[in-house]
Chain A
C-alpha cells in the first residue's frame, strides 16, 4: 500500500507543473463554496450551521434504532449454556411442597407474618444453608438537599423512625465448596409476609428450587445469598435496607443501628427455642463476600396469552444500567435454551404514531436502495422493527431520564453491583394445570441456574461489556459512542452561536468607539484603558445570580414539605409563589446596583452578550448532565436548545416588521410558553395520556417522586433548565 502511494505521488509530482493552470474540481468547488459563504454575512452562516446541526442531531436520534447493533457476549469466561442444566423434577417437587405449606399456612385464620418467615427459614436451614433474619425500618421518603452530593455511605440520616413499623428479611447463605468466601451471587425474591399471593409464592418456589440444587452442586465457587425481602413497604426499601446494613458493618455495638434505636421488647423471631435441630439461625448479621451480580426474581400476576415470557428491567437510579453482559446472558439463555420470549419495556403510545411509521418506511426503502447499490451495506431494518425499536428506545430513554429505579435491582447499583429484575409471565392456563406449572417452574429454574452458573465462572467483576447503552430490543443496543453523536450534534450550535454573538458584540462595540472619537482623533487620547475584554462580567454576574436563584427554588420544597396536610395543588401554588417572591427579593437586593451602573451607559449589544453567556451556561449544564444522566440531558436538550438559540428581543423584532421577524416573535412566544417546566410537563403528559385528568398538582407529585429517589434530573430541572428558561424570557423582554 505504502509503496503504491509513493509511486502514485512520484508519478504525480512531475505532472503538477503542467496541471497548475487548471486546479482540480474539488479545489474549484472549495473555492466556490468559500467565496459564496463570504457573500453571506458571518452571522447568517452561523445561524445556517446551527440549524443544520440541530436538525442533524434530531435526525441522528431518530436514526438510532436503525444503527443499533446486535448484542454479543463480550466476556469469554461467562460461557453461558455450555453445560446441560442440572435442575430436575425432584427440586421442583420440593419447591411445590414449600408453596403448598405456605398457602396452607396462609389460609389458616391466625396466619401471622412470623409464621411464613419461620417456615421459609426452616426450609432454608433444612437445606444446610446459614439462615439469618434482618430487621429493618422503612425510611420515609423525605427531601434531603444534601443527599445529592454525598456518597451512599454517608446517606444514613438519623430520623424519627416509628418503632412499630418494621419489616424482616430472611437471608439464607450457601457457602461455596470451591470458593474462598470472598465473592457472592445474590438471589432476591420480594415477598409480602402479611398478605401472601400466588405469584410471590411461585417466585419463592423458583428461587427455592434453584437454591436447593445449589446446596448440592460441586462446582459452586461463589457463595449464594438468597434474600427473601419483605415487601410490605414496597419492594425496594427492604432490599435497600439490607444492602445498607451489609455494606456498613457496625463494629462497636451489638446488632445494627436501627435495632439499637428501638429497644427489643419481644423476641419476634422466637425461633431459637423452637428448633430441635440446632441449626444456625442467627440473630446477627450474616455476610458473604462482595457481590458479583444480583438477580431479582418475580412472577407477574398478569399472564401472557400464548407462551411463557420474560421481562427484563434494568434501569437503576440516575439512568445507570447494569453491565450489558448480564442482560446478554439472560437473553441468550432464555431465548436459546429455555424458549422463553424476552421483552423489555416499550413506550406504547409511540406504536400507533403515523409519522413514525412513514419514517420507518422511508428508512426501510433507503436500506433497500443502499443494498441494491452495494449488497455489502447492511443498512436499514423493516418498518415494523423500526417502530418497535423506537418505542423501546423511547421507554429506555424515559426511564433513564426519570432517574427512578424500575425495581429492587436499583438498590444494588448504588454499591456497584450489577443487578436486573426478571419478571416472568406464565401462560394463562399454566397455573391451573399441575404439569404445566411444574414445567413452568422447571424452565424458569433452569434459566436462573444457567445464569448463576455463568456468573459463577466469572473471574473478575463484570467489566468487559458496556455500562452506557440504550436498548432498542432485548437483543439490540445502541452504545455510548453512537448516541453521543446525536447529542453532540444537537448541542454543538450552542457554543458556536455563543462565540459568534460574543465576537459580534465586542467588535461592534469596538467599531463604535473608533467611529466616535474620529473627529478629534488624537493618537494619545484613544486607547484609554477600556475593560473591553471583561465586559461580559456583568452578564456573567446576572447569569450567576439567576442560577443561584434556581438552586434556591430547588431547595424550597424542603420547607414546603414541612407544612402539614397540603394537597399537591396547594403545595405547587405555594412553591410557585415563593419562587417568584425570591426572584423579586434577589433582584432588589443584588441586581439593582449593577443595573444602575448599566443605565449610566446603555449598551446596545448587552442582550447579545447576555445571550452568549446564557448559551455557554446552558452548554456547560447540558454537557455535565450528559455525563451524569445521558437521557435526561438528551430530552432536556431537545427542549432547551431551540428555545435558547432562537431567543431574540421582541422589541427589535417588532420594530423590524418583516415576515421573518414576525414569525420569529410567534415562535419565541410559543416556545417560551411551552418551555416553562410545569407547562412542558402538562403538555407532554396530555399529549400521551389525554388532557382529561390533567391537574397542576400532578407536577408537584412528579417532582416529589424525583427528589424522593435522589434523581439528578430534579437538580437539572431546578439548576440548569429553569434558570435558562428565565434568562431566555429575560432576553425576549429585554429593553434594548
Chain B
C-alpha cells in the first residue's frame, strides 16, 4: 500500500516537473517570437488586433492624451481610460537596441502566464468538487481512472500552447488582459472569494462589455458551489427508488442526504454580497475613469466611444466575425433594426441555457463565452484562445465528445485558410471580400458546432452518471 502511494506521489511529482517545463518552454517560445515582430507583422493582422484590442490604437490614444486632447478624438482609440494610463506609458518607453513595444509584450506575456496559473487553480478546484460529488454518488470507480488526467494542468497547457493565444500575445493585442479579468471573476466565484469575483466581473465588463452576461454563471456558482452533477440527481435517486420500494427506505436515504454536507439549495448570502461588491467596484472604476477623462468629454463621451462603438458596430473593417460584412451591405434605414436583432441574439440564448445548465455554472460560463465570441462585433483570436483554455477544464466530462477530430481539422483548415483569403483579397487583388467572408462564416459555424457538441456531450455525461447511480441502487436493492 505504501509503495503504491509512494509511486503515485512520485508520478505526481514527475508530472508536476513536466508541467513546469512545458510552461517554461511556452514562455521561451513567446520571448523568441517577440524578437521577430517586424517580420511576422502580427500586430497588423485583422485576426489579432481589432479596433478594441489593438495596441497601436492605444498608443495613438495615449499620444493624444499626452498632447492634452481627448484620447477619443478622431476615431482611433475605443478602449478603457484605465488601460490607457496602465499601458500607455509603456508604449512610448523604448530600450535601445530592443524591438519597440518590448515592455508591452512582456506585460502581455506575464498576463498570459497569470491566466494560465489562474486557470490551473480553478481547474483543480473544479476537479476536487467533481470528485467529491462522484464520491457522494458512490461512483468512486470513475474517479480512480480519472487520476490520469488532471484537468487544471491540461487546461493551463492548452491555454498556453494554443497557437491562438500565442498569436494574440505576440501580436500586441490587449486581449490577454481582458481574458485575465474574465478568468479572475470565474476563479473568485469558484473559490468563493466574493470581492475578487466582483472585481473581475466589473473589470471584464468595463473592458469589453460582453462579459456582462457572465453574471448569471457567477451568481449560480456562488449560490450552488462549483460544478457538480445535478443536485437533483440525489433527490431523484430517492424518488426513483420510491417508485418500486417502500417509502421508509427513501426516508432513510433522505436522512443520509441531509446529513451530507452538500448544500442543495441556493444560498442567497454570497450572491447578495457579490452584488454589493459589484456595485462598489463599479462605482470605484467609474470614479477612476471619471478622473482620467475629466478634462475632456467626461464620462458620457467615454460611454459613447467605448460601448456605443461596440454596440453600433461603427468600424466595418474586415475581421473574423460576421457582422462587418452584414452591416456593410445592409441599407441604412434597416441598420438599427438589425443591430437590435444581432445583439438580442446573444441575450435570447442566455436564459434557456441558464435553465438547462444551471447545475454546471462553470460550463455555462464557457458556453456563454463561446457564444459571445461568435456573435461579438469585433471578435479576435484572443477570444477563441480563452474558450479553448476553459474547454480544458471539462476534459473528463467531455471525453466522449463527438466529431472532435472533425472539429479539430476544420479549425486548423479555417485558421490557415483565412489569412490566405485575406491576402488574396487585400494584397493580390485577385479575390474579393466574399472569399474572406466565407472563411468567417465557416469559423462562426464551427464555433456553433463546438457549442452544440460540447453541450450535448456534457448532458450525455450527466445522463450516464444518472444511469449508473440508478443501476447501482437497483443492484443494491436486489
Contacts and interface: CB of A to CB of B under 8 A. Distances in A.
Given A320-B430, A524-B472, A532-B399, A154 B413 contact: no
Nearest to B412: A620
B449 interface: no
Interface string B367-405: 000000000000000000000000000001001111011
Contact of B417 (A468, A533, A624): A624
B269 interface: no
A569 interface: no
Nearest to A466: B430
A467 interface: yes
B154 to A, nearest CB: 11
A534 B420 CA distance: 29
Contact of A529 (B36, B145, B417, B424): B145
B13 interface: no
Interface string B456-478: 00000000100010011001000
Interface in A514-543: 523-525, 527-534, 536, 540
User: Which of under 10, 10 to 19, 20 to 34, or 35 or more describes the interface residues of B?
Assistant: 35 or more
B141 interface: yes
A529 B399 CA distance: 7
B457 to A, nearest CB: 8
Contacts of A624: 413, 416-417, 420
Given A151-B427, A416-B429, A627-B420, A528 B142 contact: yes
Nearest to A525: B141
A627 B421 contact: yes
B418 to A, nearest CB: 11
Contacts of B420: 624, 627-628
A320 B427 CA distance: 12
A320 B396 contact: no
A623 B427 CA distance: 20
A120 to B, nearest CB: 33
A334 B323 CA distance: 48
Interface in B399-448: 399-402, 404-406, 408-409, 412-413, 416-417, 420-421, 424, 427-430
Contacts of B468: 523-524, 527
B142 A623 contact: no
Nearest to A495: B409
B471 A150 contact: no
B41 A151 contact: yes
A530 B142 CA distance: 10
B145 A528 contact: yes
A524 B416 CA distance: 44
Q: Which among A523, A528, A529 has the highest number of chain B CB atoms within 10 Å?
A: A529
Nearest to A712: B420
B4 interface: no
Nearest to B144: A528
Contacts of A536: 404-405, 408
B255 interface: no
Nearest to B424: A627
B8 to A, nearest CB: 17
Contact of B399 (A154, A413, A534, A628): A534
Contacts of A627: 417, 420-421, 424
B40 interface: yes
Contacts of B245: none
A306 interface: no
A559 interface: no
B41 A154 contact: yes
Contacts of A151: 41, 427
Given A523-B471, A524-B475, A531 B413 contact: no
A47 interface: no
A146 interface: yes
A103 B278 CA distance: 88
A499 to B, nearest CB: 8
A149 interface: yes
Contact of A154 (B39, B400, B408, B472): B39
Q: Which among B408, B409, B420, B464 has the highest number of chain A CB atoms within 10 Å?
A: B409
B428 A502 contact: no
Contacts of A616: 405, 409
B413 A527 contact: no
Main SS of the interface on chain A? helix
B413 A620 contact: yes
B401 A467 contact: no
Interface string A489-527: 000000000010010000000000000000000011101
Given A468-B430, A536-B405, A620 B41 contact: no
A149 B399 contact: no
A387 to B, nearest CB: 30
Contacts of B452: none
Q: Which among A320, A416, A530, A531 has the highest number of chain B CB atoms within 10 Å?
A: A531
Contact of B141 (A528, A531, A534, A612): A528
A533 B430 contact: no
Given A151-B41, A534-B399, A529 B409 contact: no
Contacts of A628: 420
B408 A540 contact: yes
Interface string A612-632: 110010001001100110000
A499 B407 CA distance: 12
A416 B40 contact: no
A521 B417 CA distance: 48
Contacts of A623: 413, 417
Contacts of A620: 409, 412-413, 416
Q: Which among A149, A467, A502, A533 has the highest number of chain B CB atoms within 10 Å?
A: A533
A536 B405 CA distance: 7
B149 to A, nearest CB: 8
A534 B404 CA distance: 7
Nearest to B38: A154
Contact of A533 (B400, B409, B412): B400
Contacts of B273: none
B353 interface: no
B267 interface: no
Interface string A452-468: 00000000000000011
A299 to B, nearest CB: 30
Query: Can you list the 10 inter-chain pairs with the closest CB atoms, starting with the nearest?
Result: A467-B430, A416-B429, A146-B39, A620-B413, A523-B471, A616-B409, A536-B405, A528-B145, A533-B404, A531-B399
Interface of A: 146, 149-151, 154, 320, 413, 416, 467-468, 499, 502, 523-525, 527-534, 536, 540, 612-613, 616, 620, 623-624, 627-628
14 contacts: A146-B36, A154-B38, A320-B428, A413-B428, A499-B406, A502-B405, A524-B468, A524-B472, A524-B475, A525-B141, A528-B145, A533-B402, A534-B404, A616-B409
Given A529-B146, A530-B399, A536-B404, 4 more contacts: A468-B430, A523-B471, A527-B464, A624-B416
